[in-house]
Every structure is written in C-alpha cells, then in structure tokens.
C-alpha cells in the first residue's frame, strides 16, 4: 500500500505541475499549482507517522493556503502584482520565508522532500509572463542575503543530511527565481533540467544513507559522495555548478559574488566533513595525509 501511495502521489504531482506550463488562463494555472501541492499529502503517510510529521503536514497546509490566497489576490488587478509575487516567494521559501521550509523538510520522508524539491519548483517558469516587466534590483539584494544566510547555515544549522540538502535546494531555488526574471526561458529550462537530474541522484544517495551523518563508509559510498556532492573533476556536482555559472553570469555582480561565496562555503563544508569523518583511508598511502 505504501508503494501505491508514493506512486499515486508523485505521479499526480508531476502531472499537475506539467499542466501549469500549458494552462491557457490564470485560474487554470492556479488550480494546477494547488493540486500539485496537495498531491504530496498521501506521501506523508507512507511510513508510520510521528507527531512531528503531523505538525510538518499542518505547517505545509497552512503555508500553502496562505501563499495560494496571496497569489489569487494579487491577480485581481495589475497594481497588486507584488502580493502575488510574495505568495510565490512564501511557497518557494525565499528569504525571509525560508524557515518554514526547514521545519517541513526535517520531519518529512524523502518522497515528500523529492516532490517539494523538484516538481513544486515548476511554477518558476511562469515568472517571465507574470513579473517580467518589473525591475528586480531589490530582489537581487534579498537573494544575495539569502546566499549569505545559507552559507552560514551550512556551519551552524546542519542536524542531518536533510538539513544539508535543504540548504542546497533553497540556493538552487534562489538561482532559478532570479534566472526566470533576467534570462531567457531556454536558460532556465536548461539549468532546471540539470538541477532535477543532479538533485534526484543526490536525494536517492542521501535517503540510502539513512538521512543521518554516517562515518566509516566504504570506498564505493565515498566515491558516490565525491561524484554527487563534492565538485571534484568530472563529477556531476561540478557539472551542475558550471551550468549554474553559465546561468548566473547574466545576473548582477552582487548576485554572482554572493552565489560564489555560498558555493565555496558549501564545498568547503562538504570536503571538511569528509576529512573529519574518516574519508576512506584503509590500505592507502594517502591516509597519512588525512
């Protein structure tokens, strides 16, 4: 029954999110956005449900409802577009609305985390149509501050691999939001496609690791860690970073510098964690240097 719920939940989420891109009026698009959000509900009940899980589900429902109301209210008149944008900002977890995302993610299973991280980001493709005519200097400042916050969170707020992934997911969301407003749809689609592939592989790896920090991994696990998370040569992580560089190069200098600062902080943390947690040393002359 659990597998059926997962398939039903995620397939519906992907389906409704896809309809967001082909809706011919705002009402239809809004309905599809809400249905894609509601489709995650069954995935919460795949495993035994703890009290904190119910609380996370409640937070998710309340925040989704508030953001939904704001999106609709902002669409009533052109002068209210900012309300609609703030509704999307809440839904995506843009600063200062990032903290509810951590609570929901920390007490959700990896199926919910995947849905939240992947197909619920598809509405970002609506931004050029809805908000493309406005100036976004203030948003670049906000997102730059968000990168700085996430850089610090890597060192201060890492309870387990779920929180670690949440930092990375929110940073990718910030990049996608900014690109959708200053770049072409082709660039956003390219960056998003690579993000989906990389993010899915990372979440599969972290869920397989149990969602908690694990020391004394075997050589094969460390290899996957370096390929998926650490930007080593020929790694998927490095490829995603290079694609992101291609995207953010069209943004302001402030945004680019903040993103680089975040990326360096992220990679230093991941490399430091590997070294401090017995990066594969056995039967290796290299071990004397670790």
The structural domains of the chain, with segments of one domain joined by +, span 1-132, 135-290
More confident residue, 23 or 255: 255
pLDDT, one tens digit per residue, over 196-248 is 999 999 998 888 876 455 555 677 778 888 889 888 888 899 999 999 998 88
Share of the chain above pLDDT 70, in %: 89
pLDDT, one tens digit per residue, over 161-174 is 888 899 999 999 99
Length of the chain measured in residues: 290
pLDDT, one tens digit per residue, over 177-204 is 999 888 888 888 999 999 999 999 999 8
pTM strictly above 0.75: yes
């Amino acid at each position: 029954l659990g597998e059926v719920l997962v398939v039903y939940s995620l397939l519906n989420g992907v389906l409704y999110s896809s309809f967001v891109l082909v809706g011919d009026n705002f009402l239809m698009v809004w309905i599809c956005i809400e249905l894609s959000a509601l489709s995650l509900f069954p995935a919460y009940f795949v495993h035994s449900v703890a009290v904190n899980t119910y609380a996370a589900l409640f937070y998710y429902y309340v925040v989704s409802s508030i953001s939904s109301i704001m999106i609709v209210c902002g669409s009533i008149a052109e002068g209210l577009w900012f309300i609609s944008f703030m509704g999307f900002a809440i839904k995506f977890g843009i600063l200062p609305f990032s903290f509810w995302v951590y609570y929901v993610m920390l007490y959700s299973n990896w199926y919910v985390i995947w849905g939240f991280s992947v197909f619920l980001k598809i509405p970002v493709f609506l931004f050029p149509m809805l908000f493309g005519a406005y100036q976004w200097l203030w948003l670049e400042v906000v997102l730059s501050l968000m990168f700085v916050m996430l850089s610090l969170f890597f060192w201060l707020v890492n309870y387990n691999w779920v929180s670690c992934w949440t930092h990375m997911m929110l940073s990718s969301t910030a990049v996608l939001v900014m690109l959708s407003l200053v770049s072409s749809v082709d660039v956003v689609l390219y960056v998003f496609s690579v993000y989906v592939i990389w993010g899915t592989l990372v979440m599969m790896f972290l869920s397989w690791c149990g969602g908690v920090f694990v020391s004394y991994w075997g050589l094969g696990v460390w290899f996957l860690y370096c390929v998926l998370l650490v930007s080593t040569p020929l790694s998927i992580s490095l490829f995603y970073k290079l694609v992101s560089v291609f995207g953010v190069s069209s943004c302001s200098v402030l945004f680019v510098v903040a993103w680089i600062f975040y990326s360096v902080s992220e990679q230093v943390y991941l490399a430091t964690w590997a070294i401090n947690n017995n990066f594969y040393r056995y039967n290796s002359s290299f071990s004397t240097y670790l």
